Structure 1
Amino acid sequence: MAEGKRAGHGIWTPANIVTSIRVVFVPAWLLAAWVAGIPSHEGTGVSWPHLVVALLFILLSLTDKLDGYLARSRGEVTTFGKFLDPIADKLVVVCSMLVLMDWDYLNFWPLVIVVSREFLVSGLRLVVAAEGTVVAASNLGKWKTATTMTSISGYFLHSCLGWGALAGGLYWLSFALMAAAIVLTAWSGFDYFWKSRDALFADEEYEGGPSAKGGAEAAPSWDDCVALAAEVLDEARSRGLTVGTAESCTGGLVEGSLTAVPGSSDVVKGAIGSYACSVKHAVLGVSDEILDTVGPVSPECAAAMAEGARTALGCDLSVSVTGIAGPGGAEPGKPVGLVWFGVSSGAGTRTESVVFPGDRSEVRLRAVRHALQLLRD
């Protein structure tokens, strides 16, 4: 089965129900904001209609964390959830910023920057994914989202207060956080483009890209893998490089083939076995966004795993493996035998996928051989 998932849970999982409620509830929240009207800020009392709007927005924001937690903890990441969750998040942010513009808290520039960044990054991901390269979500994106939502919440809380000292402090704090959010929005967008510059401006496609097939040749034996591992070690040794692995469906077999060769300790730094999504997140730093939206069997996860292993192990070159070894675990667009690989070095991170034929044992051995080939090449 695909690691970190359970098969047969259907579309209407608790996580997807929460996400759907968030989408459906946005029009109701907009109606509440319209009924409350533009805040007058007269006196020092609390405007209860505006307080309701503020609390409802905070509740909408918190449901984003709730559906992500439910999907991960229950192993119920679905294609429907991957589609709907980012739409729900952007819908909440854009609608709230439109309300703040109507209430004269914001001008149009923050909204233009936020929307432009989302369009550009989404287009960039589509283009570089076609080249076999994936740019994993960074901490900048997390800070951008947290700062934006905190600032918007502060503005809405301010709307229900008069212009006392507390309200004035809350306003300027929200203003400062929004300014920081805009900087982080632009910075994280630039970071995406910088990390994918090689793929974006490449003249030709990578060999063995996302649609590569495993071929019908006989599955390798364990001895074949160890022999190839010896070649990897010799090549790495001649270049003065150290290597490490992050493995999911192969369960440490890539490292096992490398360390089966005598004297490998001068090259191999180690391996991180990350079969569970919780380990991918906690040890390798795979973001909640990746695990909740595209799932563990994806180019984004493979890229983040490879980068996380290189950082955690302190090696020069790392390879990651994440896939569906079978016999179960298939889902739409992700058949049994699909394996995503990531290779990370100081020059950047590249991903590619292969759909391997055979039973579980054959898929795993083929994946080991392919990972070793990527390291060697």
Structure 2
Amino acid sequence: MNLPNKLTVLRVIMVPFFVFFMLTDVGGAANKWIALVLFIVASLTDMLDGKIARKYNLVTNFGKFMDPLADKLLVCSAMICLIPSGKLPTAVVIVIIAREFIISGFRLVASDNGVVIAANYWGKFKTVSQMAMIIVLIADFGGVFDMVGTVLIWIATALTVISLVDYVWANREVLTKGGM
């Protein structure tokens, strides 16, 4: 297993620890900050694994498949953890998670037809906006950051929908090959 794939696996392993600190009170007030650091480090591994894979020609089918899945696991877990605090509306989380299920299903159909579909730029913009939103919402600095958080929620939601439409349109031939 190459370094980018190890970073992807590391990101998946970090998710339960992140969720633990988001949902428990074991560390008291430090939990929020521990969870925030874990989320930021996991998010940075996403950026790093892609850069390394492209720079050193280490792109693999495992990475093309698992990297987006690891991102979905991290981001969806974080958003679900933010619902009870009221920082993130349930409807937004449902829209974003629904998109992830649709794209995962789409990738599965493509995979059954021998096609591996890597993430595109809209998907990357969507992921970055969601990660930025989550970081601001977890940090919860208050004041102007409340407005920044709200703006990021709307940007992330819009990019989620745009990336879904673009992804399906760009790969629509998968639907005809998949017998749909």
Whichever of the two has the greater Rg, that structure is: 1
Give 1:20's match in structure 2, choosing from 6, 9, 13: 9
1:244-297 per-residue CA deviation (whole Å, 9 max, x = no partner) reads xxxxxxxxxxxxxxxxxxxxxxxxxxxxxxxxxxxxxxxxxxxxxxxxxxxxxx
Q: Which residue of 1 aligns with 2:163?
A: 188
Q: If the length of structure 1 is used for normalisation, what is the TM-score?
A: 0.42
**2:22 counterpart residue number:** 33
Q: In 2, are the aligned partners of 1:133 and 1:196 still within 8 Å (CA)?
A: no
Alpha-carbon shift at residue 199 of structure 1 (Å): 5.9
Tell me if structure 1 keeps the 8 A contact 2:64–2:117. no
What is aligned with 1:119? 101
Q: Which amino acid aligns with 2:148?
A: L
Aligned 1:98-109 pairs, distance under 5 A: 98-109=80-91
Where does 1:32-71 land on structure 2 (aligned, <5 Å)? 32-36=21-25, 47-71=29-53
State the Cα distance separating 1:89 from its structure 2 match.
1.0
Asked if the contact 2:64–2:119 (Cα under 8 Å) also holds between the matched residues in 1, the reply is no
Question: Structure 2 CA distance, aligned partners of 1:19 and 1:184?
Answer: 23
1:92 has 2:67 as partner: no
Question: Within 1, Cα distance between the matches of 2:42 and 2:65?
Answer: 18
Name the SS for the 1:102 alignment partner.
Answer: coil
Counterpart CA distance in 2 for 1:126 and 1:134 is 9
Counterparts in 2 of 1:240-279, with a 5 A limit?
Answer: none
Distance 1:143 1:79, change over 3 A: closer
Query: Displacement, 1:146?
Result: 1.2
Distance in 2 of aligned mates of 1:102 and 1:86? 26
Measure, in 1, the Cα distance between the counterparts of 2:134 and 2:77: 11
How far did residue 148 of structure 1 move? 0.8
* Cross-structure match for 1:175: 150
Which residues of structure 2 form unaligned runs of 5+? Answer: none
Question: In structure 2, how many angstroms separate the alpha carbons of the residues matched to 1:129 and 1:35?
Answer: 38
Using the alignment, how far apart are the partners of 1:56 and 1:68 within structure 2?
Answer: 19
Query: Displacement, 1:200?
Result: 3.4
Partner of 1:214: none
Equivalences for residues 137-152 of structure 1 within 5 A: 137-152=119-134
Letter in 1 for 2:95: I
Note if 1:76 corresponds to 2:51.
no
Distance 1:77 1:191, change over 3 A: closer
Task: Report the RMSD for the aligned CA atoms in angstroms.
Answer: 2.9
Give distance in 2, aligned partners of 1:88 and 1:176.
25
C-alpha change, 1:131 and 1:86, in structure 2 (3 Å) is closer
Q: Say if 1:19 and 1:64, in contact at 8 Å, map to a contact too.
A: yes
Measured after TM superposition, the shift of residue 101 of structure 1 is 0.7
Give the deviation of 1:154 after TM superposition.
0.4
Q: Structure 1 unaligned runs (5+)?
A: 1-10, 40-46, 162-166, 205-377
**Worse-superposed segment, 144-153 or 64-73:** 64-73
Equivalent pairs: percent with the same residue? Answer: 36
